[in-house]
Structure 1
Amino acid sequence: MKRRFARTAAALCVMIFLSGLLAACEAHGPSGVVPGDGPDDPSGPSGEQTIYSFANGCYTLQSDSGYVALDASGADYTLSDDASKAVAFTMRPTALGSYLLMSGYRRAAGERGSKSLLGIRDPGGEFLDAAGNFIGEVGNLIAGVGDITAIVLDPLAPGGGIIREGGEVIGGVGGGIGGIDIDPSLAMVNEANDLAVWNLLPASNRRFSLTSAITGQRLAASHGILALTSATTAGIDTEFKLAPTQGCAAYPEVDTNAQLIDKRGPAIYLRDVPLFAKSAGASQIGAHDLYGYVDGHSHITAYEFIGGRVNYGDPFHKFGVDHALDDCEVNHGPQGILGIVETVTSGFNPVHETKGWPSFNFWPRHDSLQHHQSYYKWIERSYLGGLRLLVNHYTGNEILCQLNPQKQNDCHFEVNWRLQAQRLREMQDYIDAQNGGPGKGWFRIVTSPADARRVIESGKLAVVQGIEISKIFDCGEFLDVPECTREQIVERLDAAYAAGIRHIFPIHKFDNAFGGVVPDEALGIGTILYAGNVAETGHPIEFEACPESFGDDSATRPDSANPLGIIDQLLRQLEYINGQLSQAMPIPPLAPSSEHGLCNKRGITELGQFFVQELMRRRMFIEVDHSSLGVIDRILELAENNGYPGLISSHDWLYSEQLLDRLAASGGMIGRFASSRSGWVDRLIKVEDRPARHRVAGVVGTGLATDVNGIASLPGNSGAADTPLYPFTSVDGRVRFDRQVTGDHVFDLYDGRGVSHYGMYPDQIADMQLHTDDRTPAQVDQALRELFSSAEVYLRLWEATEAWKQ
């Protein structure tokens, strides 16, 4: 109880501190580049249609009672005996085997647009929320729309109308009060929602039943009426033939703006790429050495972190891009005033334009940190540009989640990482659905190097799961008392491994039961995290001057060393706070400045050493970034003493050239943040100066770290284009890229937004090739070989880690 009270009091102090600080201071169809991007032929390998094979195709619906057609008004659906009047439906998957049936799509520039969909109308707003999710009672809905089996043919009705036993006319006509329609009915609806989703069920004679995803009722046809039924009854048709046709409207989607110019498809092997085949190391290339780069550090599921309403936007959405990337006002409030993280990290600009699709007037941009930047079609564009491996880290921060007033998810990370893992699997299934069925998508989650090689060789992207969290497996500490036991660590680590997790950060952002953290000196975020550490642990980060060997000429970051006296410690705390404030405003120094920066004096704990040994025992990747100097030194020592190769510094958060040398010498791998032009060339080729154990085609292989959606900026604008960039060709020479278009917005690397989203990395690579500044062509080629051999280097490291014996 005392600990809980102390932590609550600390959190309150943090809130007060932070509040004071803040006070101070048109539609495009599928690209068709990747096989299975919406099949023209809905048949499977045996020629048989499946419930998955209609994805994004154009079809008519025919039953023995007639064709589904538009009525005389064109504003509703009916049955017709005339095949020429059959309406053409775009079959847009919402999930595997589930579809929206769209007969029209209209929008003007700058407008979201209106769809015509076969569904159940909700005129009274009783069954759907504003986002189109079903919120009503299924029984009430079924009672409202009725059942075609409960009707009889009344010969006395005008025209022999079909009515319910109670005398109420059915078939798309609801009840009303005062001329206002209030009852649900089968009808044309103008926006995607749960009541317009249909599940396909195989029936007889190459026909299918369509069932409402919500009511479970089947689409039924009889006597010129289209309605719903809960039972199969003689005289009522519930089986439909889906016949390919033409003239469908394209469902709104993002184009990759990439065209395949080589019938072989994007390159798979190094030997097939001139950059490698003509290099000095060509003789060292193996027959199955893979071409492409690894993004070793991404957060494509971070839309669910810190309560689920910090970032806006989804990497996919069952209803499409106009729902995934719509308007961030729902999270960030009018003019974005609730986007506190964006406010702090963008120079305290308190407002931003919230509208996304289709105009995207403000976001995404490289430094807009609360807007999703990895929509799945943008990731596909990067795949076409050479991305072959993607490591997705589930991330979050419980204390920041608790302080965040807006949230819809559980702050407990043992719950939240599982939600993020579920979302990643749903994303894989969604991409499969768009491409014709299970396993047919280009996005595949893998759990072993053999699995990853198989996926990449089949022309797909391999996705690996990791965790980067401040209090992993609930192993925090408060006033130096651990909050977990060895038994709990083993149990939770086993659960994560069983779920496919292969990368682990022992420490991230805060001190925890395993050891000390590297404090973040970035303006705003650094201050928030420094204060958050107090709330989480009950104590501030304990600083001392970094040793002379720490850091390099590009950055000096805090890390670890020896204890200080109380007076010295107070001065170090003052120095850190002064350093934060001086980034925001010119203020005189309040304390002597340490020559080599400030380091966290906390090293690894006994529990931390146990955790590292357990990670080694499971042959998992140990991520050393974010850990203090003392923690990393001990992890490297344990790995060196045991010959363990599975160490990674995935995203430039180590800040010690000496430690990077040791990491490379031990067989570990390094990932670097993308930069621009000569800066990126230098960062990529710098690895050649290290005593690395693994080499492919004569180079070490350096991975890319995007940190996308992880409250980290993507690369900024490269400057003016001295030579026109667009169109450009991929490094393997097999794909031609033009400016990427999302909705009405044309993204150009030189539009001031830089790498505004994940799909712009091919552009950034092409810019590095074209604008060499004062770097030689040989240096640029070497940088490209470093990057595009990194997928093979990563897999060799993974294979060596799996083969390690204690």
Structure 2
Amino acid sequence: MGVFSLHALLCIGAIVSAPLQSTNQTEGIASSDPLPGFADLHVHQMAEFAYRRAWFAKGANGGYSHKGKIEDALHQCNGGIISSDFNKQHAGTIFGPLVDQFIGPDAGIHLDKRWGVPDNDCDRGKPTWLQSLLGQCKEDKSFSGFPLHNTYTHQQVWEGHLLTAHESGLTLMVMTAVNYKPLCKIMASSAVDNDPTLACDGMVSIKRQFDETKLFCSERDWCEIVYSPEQARKVIKEGKLAVVFSIELTHLFEDSDMSIDDQVDYWYNEGMRIIQIAHEEDNLFAGVIPQNPIFKFFQIVETITKLNPAKFPTVGKDGLNSKGLTDLGKKLVQKLINKKIIIDIAHLSFRSTEDLFKIGVENNYYPVIQSHGDFGADDLKENRYVTDWMALYLKKSGGILGIYSSFLFRDYQYSFDLGVKFYSILIDIAFGSDFNGFAPQLEPNANFGEENLKKKGFAHIGMYPALIKEIEMTSSDKGSKLIHRSTENFVKLWERTLDEKRSKLSTVGFNPRNKNSTSPNGVFNASQL
């Protein structure tokens, strides 16, 4: 866990007491009444409907894992590859369990580890005397609270946990619909759900995830899908959780006969307000950061099986992906800006990000988000970073970074270190959990003061109260006021996308750690105040 310096603590106290910096607002929206609560900019709530519903564990009897009674939604399983009950089978590929175990800690047969909520007294640690005598109750060493912080195949956004997060201050959540065709195509056939709305065609799966979220919120009085910043303000002030739709898809817009422009319009009408134009492989629009070893495995699978042409990033002499935005990608970015859709740069290569920022400058510093990543000072090591040259553009445009729980305490401090000179935050920060997204969360740590976090780490979305409490215990930010500004800051960013009269924001207080931080082609650098 990161430790705050005294200087940083003093600065945090000064910032917390300072008024919010105003930005250009959409007409008719009051800026004097900031929204309460915090935002999570990257949650795969409905990922159980991705990958033909064969990757994530289903609920009891093949039911849903995101809603219903906890003992049904998160019931126990062994992976099920050797089980006759195929409703329990998941996360198994055509390559078999020995290979599957290397994909994730709970893929394949889980090596006899049982995952899920105990569904009987025996497994709850309350055996009868006879069961104890016969040794029938096998204690689950891997359990210790479900799910685990490093799960790749079990639900982390069950409705009860989500409600707990909302009641603790989560007022805005970006529901990111996701799919990955190569993974979808190698799932073991006995686990595949043959529902046509769950095809490997990514956009079909995205539609199902949008529809399931709409149904979920329509059935609950504490949740509502929002399609504009004005609606978000209204919904949040009514005490509800505002949900914004985003798309994260590697083979974006490849499986339709519609034009790119028509597809953007279609998905806007379906509710999409945020999009990543590339994900885990180079695509029609942009180069990506080659950072996730799991997806490197899938790229190799693509090459061997010819299931889908692999698009390996080409690394140049500088160690970075040599591909930036394609001509088609530049047209797509301008279309998204014209449509007032928020662009998420999370997986873009440094060159793609540089090209996108150039278009953003031409459009009066159009704001972008990095929904799930962290600060990084090394311009020569491509990862899901916001380097200092990127941070300066976000500072000028009103952008925001959603930080992983794994990097939370380090980045919480770094956001102040970079702007500490005048007690101003470098860029706005929010949470970017990436739950259900192949992302190990904050690990258990004996040094944590919050007991649940110490034992379980950041295991599911219902752990937000523990994480907030740890922030309060670790810093002088009592009441976690900084992170509780993230919903307001995100909605302000959204409003800026609608404001044709927006202009560059002040860079007062910008204090980069690496003053020589420069984009690959030298277009942007951290000293361009």
Which TM bucket (shorter chain)?
Answer: 0.7 to 0.9
Q: Which residue of structure 1 lines up, in the alignment, with residue 296 of structure 2?
A: 526
Question: Cα deviation per residue 1:478-532 (whole Å; 9 max; x = unaligned)?
Answer: xxxxxx78x611111111000110001000001111121111244x443334654
Question: Cα deviation per residue 1:82-118 (whole Å; 9 max; x = unaligned)?
Answer: xxxxxxxxxxxxxxxxxxxxxxxxxxxxxxxxxxxxx
User: What is the one-letter code of the residue matched to 2:233?
Assistant: R
Instruction: Say if 1:414 and 1:347 are closer, same or farther in 2 by CA, change over 3 A.
Output: closer
Q: Which residue of structure 1 lines up, in the alignment, with residue 203 of structure 2?
A: 414
Q: Which residue of structure 2 lines up, in the alignment, with residue 323 of structure 1?
A: 72
User: What is the one-letter code of the residue matched to 2:460?
Assistant: H
Task: Check conservation: 2:224, 2:235, Cα contact below 8 A.
Answer: yes
Secondary structure (helix, strand or coil) at the match of 2:253 reads helix
Task: Check conservation: 2:369, 2:399, Cα contact below 8 A.
Answer: yes
Instruction: Write the distance in 1 (CA, Å) between the matches of 2:408 and 2:487.
Output: 22
Q: Which has the higher contact order (CA 8 A, sep 6+)?
A: 2
Q: How far is 1:324 from its partner?
A: 1.5
Aligned residues: 426
Q: Which residue of structure 2 lines up, in the alignment, with residue 618 of structure 1?
A: 339
**1:629 aligned residue (350, 369, 394):** 350
Q: How far is 1:539 from its partner?
A: 5.1
Task: Check conservation: 1:645, 1:797, Cα contact below 8 A.
Answer: no
Instruction: Say if 1:332 and 1:425 are closer, same or farther in 2 by CA, change over 3 A.
Output: farther
Instruction: Write the distance in 1 (CA, Å) between the matches of 2:181 and 2:169.
Output: 35
Instruction: Say if 1:689 and 1:532 are closer, same or farther in 2 by CA, change over 3 A.
Output: farther
User: 1:54-65, aligned counterparts within 5 Å?
Assistant: none
Q: Which residue of structure 2 lines up, in the alignment, with residue 762 of structure 1?
A: 465
Instruction: Write the distance in 1 (CA, Å) between the matches of 2:209 and 2:89.
Output: 25
Instruction: Say if 1:452 and 1:691 are closer, same or farther in 2 by CA, change over 3 A.
Output: farther
Task: Check conservation: 1:336, 1:354, Cα contact below 8 A.
Answer: no
User: 1:513-552, aligned counterparts within 5 Å?
Assistant: 513-522=284-293, 524-529=294-299, 531-532=301-302, 535=306, 536-538=308-310, 540-546=312-318
Instruction: Say if 1:514 and 1:282 are closer, same or farther in 2 by CA, change over 3 A.
Output: closer
User: 1:152-551, aligned counterparts within 5 Å?
Assistant: 279-282=16-19, 287-313=32-58, 314-317=64-67, 320-329=69-78, 334=83, 339=92, 343-346=102-105, 350-358=111-119, 361=140, 362=143, 363-405=146-188, 406-408=191-193, 409-430=198-219, 432=220, 441-474=221-254, 488-522=259-293, 524-529=294-299, 531-532=301-302, 535=306, 536-538=308-310, 540-546=312-318
Instruction: Write the distance in 2 (CA, Å) between the matches of 1:663 and 1:284.
Output: 15
Q: How far is 1:326 from its partner?
A: 1.6
* Residue ranges of structure 2 left out of the alignment (5+ in a row): 1-11, 23-30, 59-63, 125-139, 374-383, 503-529
Q: Which residue of structure 2 lines up, in the alignment, with residue 743 of structure 1?
A: none
Instruction: Write the distance in 2 (CA, Å) between the matches of 1:277 and 1:291.
Output: 20
Task: Check conservation: 2:16, 2:481, Cα contact below 8 A.
Answer: no
Instruction: Write the distance in 1 (CA, Å) between the matches of 2:422 and 2:105.
Output: 39
Q: Which residue of structure 2 lines up, in the alignment, with residue 228 of structure 1?
A: none
Instruction: Write the distance in 1 (CA, Å) between the matches of 2:266 and 2:281.
Output: 23
Question: Cα deviation per residue 1:105-151 (whole Å; 9 max; x = unaligned)?
Answer: xxxxxxxxxxxxxxxxxxxxxxxxxxxxxxxxxxxxxxxxxxxxxxx
Instruction: Write the distance in 1 (CA, Å) between the matches of 2:311 and 2:271.
Output: 35
1:790 aligns with 2:494: no
Instruction: Write the distance in 2 (CA, Å) between the matches of 1:533 and 1:516.
Output: 18
Instruction: Say if 1:681 and 1:517 are closer, same or farther in 2 by CA, change over 3 A.
Output: closer
Task: Check conservation: 2:274, 2:343, Cα contact below 8 A.
Answer: yes
User: What is the one-letter code of the residue matched to 1:657?
Assistant: D
Secondary structure (helix, strand or coil) at the match of 1:462 reads strand
Instruction: Write the distance in 2 (CA, Å) between the matches of 1:801 and 1:470.
Output: 25
Q: Which residue of structure 2 lines up, in the alignment, with residue 664 of structure 1?
A: 395
Question: Cα deviation per residue 1:593-649 (whole Å; 9 max; x = unaligned)?
Answer: xxxxx3211121111111111101100001111111221111100001111423111
Instruction: Write the distance in 1 (CA, Å) between the matches of 2:501 and 2:48.
Output: 38
Instruction: Write the distance in 2 (CA, Å) between the matches of 1:687 and 1:533.
Output: 43
Question: Cα deviation per residue 1:4-39 (whole Å; 9 max; x = unaligned)?
Answer: xxxxxxxxxxxxxxxxxxxxxxxxxxxxxxxxxxxx
Q: Which residue of structure 2 lines up, in the alignment, with residue 583 of structure 1?
A: none
Instruction: Say if 1:407 and 1:687 are closer, same or farther in 2 by CA, change over 3 A.
Output: farther
Task: Check conservation: 2:395, 2:426, Cα contact below 8 A.
Answer: no
Task: Check conservation: 2:52, 2:200, Cα contact below 8 A.
Answer: yes
Question: Cα deviation per residue 1:671-730 (whole Å; 9 max; x = unaligned)?
Answer: 1112378435325535646999xx8xx785311100000111121113245x5x46xxxx
Q: Percent identity?
A: 23
Higher helix content, 1 or 2: 2
Question: Cα deviation per residue 1:640-668 (whole Å; 9 max; x = unaligned)?
Answer: 11114231111112353322322332222
Q: Please identify the structure whose Cα radius of gyration is greater.
A: 1
Task: Check conservation: 1:305, 1:395, Cα contact below 8 A.
Answer: yes
Question: Cα deviation per residue 1:335-359 (whole Å; 9 max; x = unaligned)?
Answer: 9895566642339974421443446
Instruction: Say if 1:679 and 1:423 are closer, same or farther in 2 by CA, change over 3 A.
Output: same
Secondary structure (helix, strand or coil) at the match of 1:610 reads helix
Secondary structure (helix, strand or coil) at the match of 2:154 reads coil
Instruction: Write the distance in 1 (CA, Å) between the matches of 2:80 and 2:231.
Output: 38
Instruction: Write the distance in 1 (CA, Å) between the matches of 2:361 and 2:159.
Output: 39
Q: Which residue of structure 1 lines up, in the alignment, with residue 439 of structure 2?
A: 712
What is the TM-score of this pair, normalised by structure 2? Answer: 0.72
Instruction: Write the distance in 1 (CA, Å) between the matches of 2:238 and 2:13.
Output: 21
Task: Check conservation: 2:415, 2:426, Cα contact below 8 A.
Answer: no
Q: Which residue of structure 2 lines up, in the alignment, with residue 654 of structure 1?
A: 385
Instruction: Write the distance in 2 (CA, Å) between the matches of 1:699 and 1:798.
Output: 19
Instruction: Write the distance in 1 (CA, Å) between the matches of 2:411 and 2:349.
Output: 26
Task: Check conservation: 1:749, 1:760, Cα contact below 8 A.
Answer: yes
Q: How far is 1:767 from its partner?
A: 1.9
Instruction: Write the distance in 2 (CA, Å) between the matches of 1:540 and 1:759.
Output: 37
Task: Check conservation: 2:340, 2:497, Cα contact below 8 A.
Answer: yes
Instruction: Write the distance in 1 (CA, Å) between the matches of 2:421 and 2:292.
Output: 27
Task: Check conservation: 2:44, 2:434, Cα contact below 8 A.
Answer: yes
Q: Which residue of structure 2 lines up, in the alignment, with residue 601 of structure 1?
A: 322
Question: Cα deviation per residue 1:244-290 (whole Å; 9 max; x = unaligned)?
Answer: xxxxxxxxxxxxxxxxxxxxxxxxxxxxxxx9999431487964111
Instruction: Say if 1:711 and 1:656 are closer, same or farther in 2 by CA, change over 3 A.
Output: same
User: What is the one-letter code of the residue matched to 1:290?
Assistant: L
Instruction: Say if 1:689 and 1:283 are closer, same or farther in 2 by CA, change over 3 A.
Output: closer
Higher strand content, 1 or 2: 1
Secondary structure (helix, strand or coil) at the match of 1:428 reads helix
Question: Cα deviation per residue 1:439-479 (whole Å; 9 max; x = unaligned)?
Answer: xx11111000010000110111100001000011227xxxx
Instruction: Write the distance in 2 (CA, Å) between the matches of 1:800 and 1:655.
Output: 21
Secondary structure (helix, strand or coil) at the match of 2:434 reads coil
Instruction: Say if 1:276 and 1:350 are closer, same or farther in 2 by CA, change over 3 A.
Output: same
Secondary structure (helix, strand or coil) at the match of 2:369 reads strand
* TM-align CA RMSD: 3.3
